[in-house]
Amino acid sequence: MSARPYGGRHELGQNFLADPAVIAAVCTAAARTTGPLAELAAGDGALTLPLSRTGRPLTAVELDPRRARRLARRTGDHVKVVHDDLLRHRLPEVPHTVVGNLPFHLTTATLRRLFRQPHWELAVLLVQWEVARRRAGIGGASQMTAAWWPWFEFAVPARVPAHAFRPRPAVDGGILVITRRTDPLVPDQAGYQEFVRAVFTGRGRGLGGILPRTGRVSARAAHTWLARNRLLPQALPRDLTAEQWASLWELTQ
């Protein structure tokens, strides 16, 4: 990771991780799995080096060619350091874990790409604090989270203060842990995600008004569903849990 644009615009806004406790927390979270590791935005190796000590096969992706060369000289034979763009790098085609201290401004783009990659089982990512909260549905879920909840679980085990980075960013970070569900809550990804989009962008004062306007749920069925889930008609799409979204989708079938 770099604070200067050596490798291009994707490096802008990058901050190095410098807190040993946070580094240990990320490594501990990644230890839930045992297969290969893919690290995005490896930088000077704050995460690469401790992860390499596990002996697991590790691919470290870094955009800055000078940092990639330096890191390659500091790692063992089981570590492959790749000079590449994290938004274009081809991830392993076997079950693996993704780790990374992401450039805050690339978080959404990175997540969109990751969600469509088929083989990773676990992702442990350092992202902006507010993004971590929204992805985990803390204080209200975003449309992106609702769209992918049936296939992934989201958790935020720790908040990372700004002083844990060098240079210090203007906001705190957070550790976002994403786990692929073994059994998805919904079978039809395309149809479900279009329904989520329609609900989030629909007009109405709360779900009681929004749902009938989607054309997929009658007013009576919406009222019954809301009552069964102990939700007021004024409840918003962001207020629903993963299980409630899956239940709501079933209502449309």
Binding residues: 15, 17, 62, 85, 101
Give the integer Cα–Cα distance in Å for 11 and 228: 49
Give the residue numbers of the binding site for S-adenosyl-L-methionine. 15, 17, 62, 85, 101
Q: What are phi and psi of 50, to 5 degrees?
A: -65, -35
Q: In this structure, which long-range contacts are made by residues 151-156, counting pairs with CB atoms below 8 Å and at least 24 apart in sequence? A: 151/115, 151/180, 151/181, 151/184, 151/185, 151/186, 151/189, 152/115, 152/178, 152/179, 152/180, 152/181, 153/178, 153/179, 153/181, 153/242, 154/178, 155/179, 156/132
Residue labelled with tokens 């899956």: 246
Q: Which of the 8 DSSP states describes residue 155? A: E
- Three-point CA angle 7, 9, 13, nearest 5°: 100
CA distances for 44 relative to 14, 22, 99, angstroms: 12, 16, 15
